[in-house]
Amino acid sequence: MASLTFTFSSKLLLFMILCLSFNQFSFVAPAEFEVGGDHGWVVPKSKNDQLYNQWASENRFKVDDTVYFKYKKDSVLVVSEEEYEKCHSVHPLFFSNNGDSVFKLDRPGLFYFISGVSGHCERGQKMIIKVLETAHPPNQSANDNTTTDIPTQNNAAAAALVFDQNMNPISSPIILPFIVSFFGLLFV
C-alpha cells in the first residue's frame, strides 16, 4: 500500500512540476527595442529621410513593448500624424530630452516620433511605428456559418499556440512533449 501511495504521490508531483514549467512558456514578455540599433537616435548622415521608418519596418512591435532612444543633445517627441508631417509640435503627447528615453507602446496602432531639435526632423530624424493588434479570428465570409475561436492567454490551450507573421495560429513544439508526459504519468 505504501508503494502505491508513493507512486501516486510521485506522479502527482511530477505532473505539477510539468504543469508549472509548461506555464512558463504561455506568456510572452514585452520586448525593448533600441531605436536605430548601434547608431541610436541621431540625424541620418546621408539624405535618407526614411532611415528610421526602414528600421521600424524591420521589427515587429506588440502592445507593451518599449522603444529605447539613446541620443546626445537632442530630444524625442511623440506627436500626431499632422505634427509628424509638419515636423513641428507645440503640445507633443510625450517629450523627453534626457539622452536615454524609454517609451511604452501601450496600444495597437500608429505612433509618430520626431526629434524636437530644430531642423533634425526635416533631415530624417523621424519615425512611424506600427503596433500590431492582438490576435483576432480570421475574417469570415458572409456565407460561412462556422466560427473560429482563438483562445486567450488565460486558457491552457493558448499556451499551445504560436502565431505566424499574419497572426494565424500554428502548432507549437511545446504541446507534444506535454501531452506525452501527461499520458506517460497516467500509465507508468
CATH number of residue 117's parent domain:
2.60.40.420
State pLDDT tens for residues 50-92.
889 999 999 999 999 999 999 999 999 999 999 999 999 999 9
Is 77 part of any domain? yes
Alpha carbons within 13 A on the beta-carbon side of 10:
10
- Residue in this structure with the C-alpha cell 509640435, named with its chain if needed: 89
Cβ-defined contacts of 44-50 (< 8 Å, 24+)? 44/123, 44/124, 44/125, 47/124, 48/124, 49/123, 49/124, 49/126, 50/124
Say what the pLDDT of residue 16 is.
63
Q: Is the pLDDT of residue 1 over 90?
A: no
Q: Is the pLDDT of residue 38 over 90?
A: no
Say what the pLDDT of residue 49 is.
75
Is 23 part of any domain? no
Is 140 part of any domain? no
State pLDDT tens for residues 21-31.
555 544 568 88
Is 22 part of any domain? no
Is 78 part of any domain? yes
Is 65 part of any domain? yes
Q: Is the pLDDT of residue 146 over 80?
A: no
Higher pLDDT, 16 or 125: 125
Is 115 part of any domain? yes
Domain that holds residue 101: 32-131
Total count of domains within the chain: 1
Is 155 part of any domain? no
3-state SS, residue 133: coil
Say what the pLDDT of residue 66 is.
95
